[in-house]
Structure 1
Amino acid sequence: MELDRTRPLWRQIAAVIISRIEDGTYPAGSRVPSALEISTEFGVVNATASKAMRHVREAGYTRGEVGLGTFVREDQPEGN
C-alpha cells in the first residue's frame, strides 16, 4: 500500500487498520497483525507501526492480551 509521505504515517496506518476492522477484514475477536507485521506491510519503522496500533487500541477497536497479541474488540465504538 502506498502512503502519502506528506502526512503523518501512523495516522494513515491507523485509519487503514480501523477501516479493515469496520469492513470485516479483521472480524470481532480475531487477532490483528503485530506492530512488526504492520511495519513490514507498510514499509515503516516499528515505532511508527506501534504508534498506529496504540491509537487503534485507544480508540476502542482492539484489546491486548499479554503473551497472545492484539484482538479486535467485540464491542466496537460507535460513531467513529
Structure 2
Amino acid sequence: MSPELDRTRPVWRQVAAVIAARIDDGSYPVGSRVPSVVELSTEFGIAASTAQKALTHLKTEGLIRAEVGLGSFVEERPEGPSGGEA
C-alpha cells in the first residue's frame, strides 16, 4: 500500500522525507539497501524522475550513498558535535 502524498506540495520532498524517516526509525538500518527508483516509483505511484530526485536529495544530505550497479545504501552518520552525548 502506498503512502498518501499531498499533491499540492513537492512530491519528491515527501518521498525523501518518508525514506529519511524509515532510516531514522531503523526500518532501513546502516548499510542496508534503500528502494531503487523503480521500486519507489511503484510504491508511491510517481514518475521515475521524481523518485530519482528524492534519492539525489538524500545522497546530498549524506543519508545514503550510491554504488554504481548495486544501488543506494544507508550511510553511517557521525554523531553530533557533542560526540553523541545527551
Question: Do both share a fold (TM > 0.5)?
Answer: yes
Change (3 A) 1:72 1:3: same
Q: Distance in 2 between matches of 1:4 and 1:77?
A: 32
Runs of 4+ in 1 over 2 A off after TM superposition: 75-78
Mapped to 1, the partners of 2:30 and 2:41 lie a distance apart of 22
TM-score normalised to the size of structure 1? 0.92
Query: Counterpart in 1 of 2:84?
Result: none
What is the aligned residue count? 78
Gaps of at least 5 residues in structure 1 are none
Q: Which runs of 5+ in 2 are unaligned?
A: 81-86
The superposition leaves residues 19-49 of structure 1 with CA deviations (integer Å, 9 ceiling, x where unpaired) of: 0001000000000000110010000000000
Query: For the pair shown, which has the larger CA radius of gyration, 1 or 2?
Result: 2
Aligned-residue sequence identity (percent) comes to 60
Let me know the Cα RMSD of the aligned residues. Answer: 1.3
Residue number in structure 2 paired with 1:58: 60
